Amino acid sequence: MDFADLNLGLAPHSMNRLYQAVSRLQENGKSILDLISGSAHAAGICFPEELLQEIFAQAIPRARRYRPDPLGQETAREAIARYYAGQGIDIPLRQILLTPGSSLSYLYCFRLLTDPGDEIICPIPSYPLFDLIARICNVELISYRLREEWNWGIDLDYLESRLTTRTKAMVLISPHNPTGMVASFGELAQLAEIALRHNLPIISDEVFSEFLFPGGVLPRLAATKAPLVFTLNGFSKMFALPGMKLGWIAVNGDPEKVSHALETLELMSDTFLPVNEMVQFCVPEVLSRGRLFLEDYRSRVEHCRDLALDLLSDLGEVQFVPPAGGFYLTLRSKDPEPRWEDETLVLRLLETRQVLLHPGFFYDLPPAHLVMTFVQAPLRLQEGLAAIREVLRETLEQADKFQ
């Protein structure tokens, strides 16, 4: 019996050396300090349980009778429209589609915008999720660069040079995972101009939108003149509620393009009706009553970020661009000719200190890069960064012996 070969060319956790080592350690009863998951729960940040119980209790009577809407329950979409209106963005509820999270939002958008063999242009550094979604959709990913020497700014000239007649959409992630880059208003205006020149839609991933350093207003593609924008967000990062599996796609731009896109998205969603009805009826209350929690959550994430930057600032072996948003940062060797190799170092860190980071090549970064989250309980974060310091020192001492 034959099955589709979706794994070809990919390195899922079960197949690469790092996660083979993770499995061995766990089988031997070792506890691993995970500095890559980016789960707020690891830092002890959880949506208040009593409040969540109240919200679900209020949703029960409304969800008891099953009357689905392919776009999502109107009361939920109204609340999301109000969320954007409060930030000066006009996206009517009829232009919002609920999904069970951003991964499926990407799948919907990729499938909506492409036929097999078409291209979608995504940033590098990239996130491994896109590879598998593109493979499922029979789409080819091409890349545009975020320039580390520009504080991970978008190389817009290079992006435009990469477009072909097969390019059907662009992807923007801001705040960006794993670099922490936040695209500026100027960059977004130029990106919108490119989209207009080539008549291309843009998929704008804003799942870290509530986490900016310092705080302020997130520059949004939805506020530009781009011809068609699909804004992705959800409750996983925004309210530390990944288990609710609630996301959305907000569509805006040229009215005719928006209408056509929504017709097809509605048909896709109507085929599966994948969003839990109980969760949908919780949306207005989470957005309204969860604001105090979100303020505290932001403050705690910023504290973790500042702690990580303080602890890393005197680590002479690496340098980094301070993240302007999100939960992640990217480290790299200070040496023009690095004396350590990223996969070897993260394996040594894991096997000798039981601390998990990712090597840069997981994200298409050049050699001698490391990727980590700073969202972790402060004492555990200090422990993990101390381990990185020790292993880097040991690695460099060993390299010097062989020179």
What are the beta bridge partners of residue 141? 120
Give, in words, the CATH class of 64-289: alpha beta
pLDDT category at 316 given cuts 50, 70, 90 is confident
In this predicted structure, what is the pLDDT of residue 216?
A: 85
In this predicted structure, what is the pLDDT of residue 174?
A: 98
What are the start-end ranges of the H helices in 185-290? 185-198, 235-238, 255-272, 277-289
Please say if the pLDDT value at position 114 is more than 60: yes
Please say if the pLDDT value at position 120 is more than 60: yes
pLDDT tens, 219-261?
Answer: 999 999 999 999 999 999 999 999 999 999 999 999 999 999 9
Fold classification of 17-46+292-401 is: Aspartate Aminotransferase, domain 1 (3.90.1150)
Please say if the pLDDT value at position 13 is more than 70: no
85 versus 3: which is more confidently predicted? 85
**Tokens found for residue 201:** 């839609």
In this predicted structure, what is the pLDDT of residue 3?
A: 65
In this predicted structure, what is the pLDDT of residue 105?
A: 98
Asked if 18 and 354 count as a contact pair (C-beta separation under 8 A), the reply is no
Cα–Cα distance for residue pair 358/373, rounded to 1 Å: 10
Average pLDDT for 107-112: 98
In this predicted structure, what is the pLDDT of residue 398?
A: 80
In this predicted structure, what is the pLDDT of residue 15?
A: 65
pLDDT tens, 141-163?
Answer: 999 999 999 999 999 999 999 99
Return the percentage of the chain with pLDDT > 90, whole number.
87
The residue ranges of every structural domain in the chain are 17-46+292-401, 64-289
In this predicted structure, what is the pLDDT of residue 402?
A: 59
Please say if the pLDDT value at position 14 is more than 70: no
Q: Report the amino acid identity of residue 97.
A: L
Please say if the pLDDT value at position 401 is more than 80: no
In this predicted structure, what is the pLDDT of residue 229?
A: 98
Asked if 342 and 178 count as a contact pair (C-beta separation under 8 A), the reply is no
In this predicted structure, what is the pLDDT of residue 397?
A: 82
pLDDT category at 338 given cuts 50, 70, 90 is confident
Please say if the pLDDT value at position 312 is more than 60: yes
The DSSP bridge pattern shows strands 369-373 and 358-359 to be antiparallel
